[in-house]
Structure 1
């Protein structure tokens, strides 16, 4: 059974891409490129699910990210 997870991606001060899966506690990875990050985060998701399969919380559906500009 395929499961879907959302990955929140940011770029740190060193230029690395950092991804976190909010549905899984402590599930994050990094990579020099987006491709490397996504490969790494897939591995981490699998490890998180092996260690604690019941930790995959049912969270509300991800809606999106909004940008707010304050003049």
Structure 2
């Protein structure tokens, strides 16, 4: 079998093509998730800082048995 025949047979072979499709699809979904997280991260960080500032201003009473 010549090298050209091997290459032609390899090009026609479809075994594993579904696996490659799933790998590409999964990589695209992960990439999209990373892009979305990068876009909303500044807003989430700002909101977390505002919540922390608000909670630090609260006084919480202690209940329980006297010491």
Give the TM-score of the pair, scaled to structure 1.
Answer: 0.28
Work out which structure has the larger RCO, using CA pairs closer than 8 Å and 6 or more positions apart in sequence: 1
- Larger radius of gyration, structure 1 or 2? 2
Relative to its length, the structure with more strand (as a share) is: 1
Which structure: greater helix fraction? Answer: 2
TM (normalized to structure 2)?
0.30
